[in-house]
Structure 1
Amino acid sequence: MMKQVQAMQSRMAEMQAKLEQATAVGQSGGGLVKVTLTGKGVMTALSIDASLLKPEEKDILEDLVLAAHTDAKSKAEAMLAEEMKSVTGGLPLPPGFKLPF
């Protein structure tokens, strides 16, 4: 059992490093707004098409940024879930137990 726990700790450290390097790009408005997040959910980039930079489009732009961020975050969470499956490798975790956060 201790060997399994140590192996899982090692895989967790590897996964943490991998998540730091992984990115997820979310988009909205047909690609007019794009948000890039790290695997840990930190926003690293925001791209807004010039056609949206009009004062009368302010509310639409704000909604599109939020939608793109939500899209990127769900993709980053899906990457994390996949990584966790490979790290825990059959070791049962209590319901609601989240690693690494």
Structure 2
Amino acid sequence: MQFKGPELYNAWTGALPPINGWSPHQGRHWWACSVLWRELKKHQHTPHLSNETTAALLENTALSIIRLQVQPQLGHANEATTMVYLRWVMDMLAVPVSLEDDDEPSIGTK
């Protein structure tokens, strides 16, 4: 069975959201954050390194996940659009990161 674009759109927009305030766009955010968090958890048993080294490792790993998995899947043409996920994960890990006025994210003050 094949669906045409308008049929799929009507089915999607006609469905009741699972909770008040939910939208498909929020589902995209949930997916991106879930992928990023799951992949970073694979590195939780990294040998004890200095705080600075650990922060740099986590940041670079997160950037790779964002660039290689999240950004292509979400179809973001501009990398800056996807960098909100780097800020989110670094906040979750309590690692300060600066995305302001830089081409590349860097560890520093927010």
TM-score (norm 1): 0.39
Q: Which has the higher contact order (CA 8 A, sep 6+)?
A: 1
TM-score (norm 2): 0.37
Higher strand proportion: 1
